[in-house]
Amino acid sequence: MSTSLARVAFRSKMLLLLGSIIFSGTIAKAQSIINPSVKTSSSFAIVIDNKTYEAVEKEVLAYKSSIEADGLGTYIISHNWKNPEEIREVLKKLYKAPKSPLEGVVFIGNIPVPMIREAQYLTSTFKMVETIRWDRSSVPSDRFYDDFDLQFEFLKQDEDSSRKNLFYYKIKAESPQYIEMDIYSARIKPPAENQQSSIEQIRNYLQKVVAVKKESNPLNNMIVSTGHGYNSNSTISWAGEVAAIRTTFPALFTKGHSIKFLNYRNADFMKNNLLTELRRENLDLAFMTGHGTATLQLLNGYPDASAPQPSMENVARYIRSKMRNAKEAGRNLEEVKAGFQKSLGLNDKWFEDAFIQEKIDEDSIFNDKLDMQTWDLQNINARVAYLNSCLTGSFHLNDYLAGYYPFSNGKNVAAFANSVGVLQDLWSIQLLGILQHGVRVGHLLKKTAYLETHIMGDPTYHFQAPQQKYYNSLMGSQTSSAKEWQKILKNGDADLQSYALTELFKTQPEAQFTSQLYNILTGHTNESVRTQAYFLLRRYENTDLKKLVTVALNDNYEYIQRKAAYDIAEQGDDELFKETLTHYINNQEMKRVIYKLDWSIPFFNNTISLPETDRLLKNDPDNKELHEKLTRKLTYEKQKLSKMEDNLRNEKATDKELIADLRTLRAYRYHQLVPAALALAGNTKSAEQVRVAALEALSWFGFSYHKQEILQLCEKLTSDANPAVATQALKTIHVIKETGRRPF
């Protein structure tokens, strides 16, 4: 052991004796707490379970030393953790320390996993029925540990012996209903089936991260990849992101630096191309967008084809796959076959080889080459990987794909990933450019995380940059001044300016800052700065939302237009319909924006939308097909809404039928049905579960033109005789009032 490590080890043994008195008596004496060895303006904590710590103490101490050598005092806190509350209490105390308050934490080994329920509005899109298995319908989230303002109610520990580390909570009605992390967090948790394998992987990872942190490595090599089926395969959406990345990382486009863009269209099997890049010794940042599962990164679909032969091969693979799935599910194969023959016009020949072993093997190899499998992730050298996809960060499982990045044999030390499904239309590159300035990756998470967003690996890792010490000190401080952020706002860097806006939002007078943000939205040259201004303006109660979305809908950045399309749906204001429809007619090439406007148009009052559609399109020969399409769509939606409203107002409807219709409002913003939902919520004769479901559904209408009506009823119902109704009414008030604080 080196002299410095021996010194730390001796110090640790002494501090173990003092650990029980460092904090107040609310912390169990069995917890071992090692204080930082250096004095710094902020601090960091390593939280680890006893068994893992005993096995890898040497490596943990070396990891602590590497963080402290970078100017961040570090605690080691080990214990046989019984529940998440024990850990949260320790972290809160460290965060409130008068000197060197906590800025971040990493969890190593077997650390309890909070599983959050009844808070799906804090995710980007997750909306699963919570009556199914709790481990599937809850969100694994370390926001329990890093957002101290959120208030949680414990529900239960998982009963299954293999899932005893899962603890279920819901957010209390009186809690803030938005995420604003106080510290950043990460997990060093390998994909492993047993304790011994986990410990060995942790030991290897800690040795690696200590070595990698010694590199003098600026962010000057990056790749951006896009998988099949994402954002409607829209080339205009993709081009918009390329333009935004160019203004975010201008240096990467200059001599001596590199940035590569990989797209699923580049090859029938993009995996080989992507793996070649990920294994490149000098790769710094890999930003990867696409669909995913817990154990797959989806890259390619069946090859794009216009020629007859490859098109026929695609159909044949599709049929073989469907027949095998049907057999595995125990379905009647002749009925399945007859269905495909009728729908696709196929003869018997297409079905003959579905169960021939040679074809089964051939298709298996073909499918393996389409997507990134866990066993592909060896020797990954991208120091930081960002997986903008669903489920790859399902760290509550023993086996999850994102874990294979930092625990590969390469130099990857951190991977951003999501524990549940995520929205395709995320602002995925938000603040990403701050990493080039030597900012710790945890600071990026702290500003951009949803309930499901996590870092796997070391959150203190950062690239080398001239002003890294200054920026890390500023972003890790709880007392940074507005003067400092105003200075940064003038420095010309897109994402540093965007970060400064998020900080100034906390302190600047609302009227003054609203004007400043509007000026940025309408006049700034950088896409990311305009987008940040738009997101912040949505938070202000004084903002004219109709004016705001009108400005955004006409921005040159496709993503801002797409975001405006979402917000149009959220508002449903009839005065916006004409402009919405005009934009829809004139921008048919913008595939993803049109997709969202297609989604939005049915939410307007059909007494306005149908006549206006006729007025603009009926006598236009160039848009005859579009007129017919919209008329069919709006007519269908009108009939559907009429049926739903009749059911919601039907006193003979069953509770199950009512709840099913009410749940629809969580995803589809049918503003015309709000009055019916309000009537159900306020009807004391309705069943408790129906009234609660109505109030919960109404909480998704925070931007609706019905907002004030919803709030008025909820205020009244907070004193309802039914405690469950009163509690949900209070929660709905908070959710609605804080809607603007959530990006979606």
What span, in angstroms and rounded, lies between the C-alpha atoms of 302 and 674? 43
Over the chain, what is the mean pLDDT? Answer: 92
What is the CA 304 to chain-centroid distance, rounded? 29
Supply the pLDDT for residue 4.
Answer: 41
pLDDT in tens, 411-469: 999 999 999 999 999 999 999 999 999 999 999 999 999 999 999 999 999 999 999 99
pLDDT computed for residue 306 by the predictor: 85
Can you give the pLDDT at residue 25? Answer: 35
Amino acid letter at 437?
Answer: H
Q: What's the pLDDT at 8?
A: 40
Least confident among 13-22, 151-160, 706-715: 13-22
Residue 744 confidence class, pLDDT cut points 50, 70, 90: low
Q: State the pLDDT confidence band at 27, using cuts at 50, 70 and 90.
A: very low
pLDDT at 196: 86
The single-letter DSSP state of residue 292 is B
What's the pLDDT score for residue 14? 37
**549-590 tens-digit pLDDT:** 999 999 999 999 999 999 999 999 999 999 999 999 999 999
Burial of residue 250 (CB within 10 Å: 0-12, 13-18, 19+) is middle
Confidence of residue 624 (pLDDT cuts 50, 70, 90): very high
Indicate the length of the chain as a whole number: 744
Please name the residues in contact with 109: beta carbons below 8 A apart, sequence gap of 6 or more: 48, 49, 51, 52, 53, 188, 189, 198, 199, 202
Q: Give DSSP secondary structure letters for 240-253.
A: HHHHHHHHHSGGGG
DSSP letters spanning 193-208: SSHHHHHHHHHHHHHH
Confidence of residue 18 (pLDDT cuts 50, 70, 90): very low
When pLDDT is cut at 50, 70 and 90, the band that residue 75 belongs to is very high
Could you read off the pLDDT of 336-392 as tens digits, one per residue?
A: 999 999 999 999 999 999 999 999 999 999 999 999 999 999 999 999 999 999 999
Instruction: Burial-class residue 449 by CB neighbours within 10 Å (0-12, 13-18, 19+).
Output: buried
Place 16 in a pLDDT band, splitting at 50, 70 and 90: very low
Helices 577-586/545-553 angle, 10° precision: 10
Using the predicted structure, report yes or no on whether residue 64 has a pLDDT greater than 60: yes
Query: Does 637 score more than 90 pLDDT?
Result: yes
pLDDT of 518 higher than 90: yes
Q: Distance from CA of residue 651 to its chain's centroid? A: 40
Residue 10 has what pLDDT?
Answer: 35
Q: In one letter, which amino acid is 507?
A: T
Mean pLDDT over 150-178 rounds to 96
What's the pLDDT tens digit per position in 664-693?
A: 999 899 999 999 999 999 999 999 999 999
Assess contact for 358 and 389: CB atoms under 8 A.
no
41 contacts: CB under 8 Å, gap ≥ 6:
100, 473, 476, 477
More confident residue, 410 or 743: 410
Of residues 22 and 641, more confidence is placed in: 641
Extract the tokens encoding 58: 């040497």
pLDDT at 305: 85
